[in-house]
Structure 1
Amino acid sequence: MCSLKGSFFKKNYYIEKFERRELKIIEVKIMDDTINQIKSHLRQIKTITGVENVVLTQRDGQPIESAGVWLSKNEIFGVCSIVSAIFNVAEQLHPATLNYLLIDGERAKILIAPIHTQMDRIVDYSSKAEYFLTITARLKVNLGAIMLSMKDTLDAIKNSIEYSGNDFKPPLRSYDENALKQVLDSFNVKEDGSYQENFSSVNINLNEEISTKIRDCIFDFSKRVPGVKMASISLNGGYNLLNVNLDTANTQSEGALSYTLFDTSKKIISTLKQTPINNVLIDCIGYSHFIYGCEMGIFSTYISRGQKRLGLLRLLIPQYVKLLSDLLIKSQQIETPPLNLNNLFDGLKIGD
């Protein structure tokens, strides 16, 4: 009897082990099929005129798949982690309203768009996309035509991810050599190039005259450009110099977050295309957020969608950015007044 009982449990053990192995094989097959489907969809986007490279990235910065020009090992992980950082900052700036970002460089454009699925996280009643698509395009392409052409493909990628279930999202936070090789094998990898970045610091002295002119410039922009909800100038590092806020919903941390987003966007367009950045456009529900680099900082503005004329804005905003840059350059030329310790001590009433 004991022998029969032992044989029964042993048989059940092997059946369960076999079933687990079969289930594992099925899960791996679903994962492989999903990756192949996504690869095919990304190649379809790559065939759109003007598109050079497409990368699908997980929210935490893990690279999923790509199609297009070759990337080096450092570029693959660099691009994916930078995209993750950019979109997390953009969602912090524009919770529940963010549509996409467009990074405009001197020789190329980069579009970063979320792919919303049933696996999105709900944080503070807003949906946080788990996956992002990064598209590198040539400079003189029609963004609207690209987005229209890839609409059905984006839906197909979304359906592929949702069909695969939670198994599609591996919970990786670090990489051993095998995991690293597995990720890189799905990409076209080229040799790393050399890269060097120089840092410098400057001092500015804002006297009453220049401060007044900067304020007048920001106020003039807010009055002359229809639909302005907010306009601000922030110094390098995100230090807010002046903010004209016509919308109480805007956060006090806008300057620091906008500077972080712009500075990080410079890194991704430099990594992918080795080109300087011109501006960043963040398209949101009901309005657009423009960020332009200026001397020693950034100029940032929110403009209502109903009042927006994109071509006109791209002509107007750089003129004000040039005026602000000239004023900040002038502030560097002002000599720092010498420190008179006697006057300082007199003011503090030391020694009385």
Structure 2
Amino acid sequence: MSTSKSVNRQILLVSRPQGPVTADNFKLVETPLAPLSEGQFRVRNHYLSLDPYMRGRMNDGKSYAAPQPLDAVMLGGTVGEVVESRHPRFAVGSKVVGSFGWQEYGTSDGAGVQQVTDPAVPLSAWLGAVGMPGVTAWYGLNHLIAPQKGQTVVVSAASGAVGSVVGQLAKRAGCRAVGIAGGAEKCRYVVDTLGFDACVDYKAGNLQHDLKAAAPDGIDGHFENVGGEVLDTVLGQMNAFGRIALCGMIAGYDGQPLPLRQPALILTQRLRVEGFIVSEHLELWPEAQALLARLVTQQQLHYRETIAQGLESAPEALIGLLKGKNFGKQLVKLI
């Protein structure tokens, strides 16, 4: 079987952002699709995943991964369908999760590509609640925060793809779950739909006071996606021997890093603060994804998506994500 077209539309990163990302950092191109070699298969991507980590990869600096190359397809997770195959394990019609980036078609020999194992899970969820964000939430909560029944767990960016799963899993562990989100609408969703015990609107301007009211017994575990003022405020209310899982620091991604105001609290409260990259724990993904898939199919794990239409919408959607304009998981629908 051959693909329905011979041209692949792609978005390249053509310049590094100096401050906030702009549409001029990207370029839409069309390239011919080369014939498959033996052992290869071709995927028609249905959804692209947009995630905050992309901003850091666009810089040419020291980090946990190599920078996104210039004049190359913008990196990112994808989910789609095999439309052509010369590979014995990837049949035409198979649904797969991969990292084909910002393009309509991906070609692979199978390395790093995962076949969708549970067709009852919506395809888009393999990039969100059952995919990398969900596994990130599961790992940071269970392996770093290690919640105990009756403790208070705070989650920043609580309505987002990662934070929403953290809070729901914390509730299942018997904890008091407190979210931090931007705006009254997001906070209502976090409490009313996701089932958190409370949610603090950091945009209301009373973060310290409101967080104290929402977590009157102090904070035992914190899952950090934001950094900046949020992390400073949480540090001031951590209980002794509290645990902080550092997942993201989006507050400083588009500008200068924001220093901690009271780093001595890590010492005086004997806190454990650990950053982590979930791709370094691939051996644990099957366990996490089996649980997350079961919870989604049983409608015990809720999630929300913001979906941009068409490949050409990806740059503006990422810019919006970095400014907090999305609600839940940000995706780009290609088909």
TM-score bucket of the superposed structures, by smaller chain: under 0.3
Larger radius of gyration: 1
With structure 1 as the length reference, what TM-score do the two structures score?
Answer: 0.21
Which has a greater percent of helix? Answer: 1
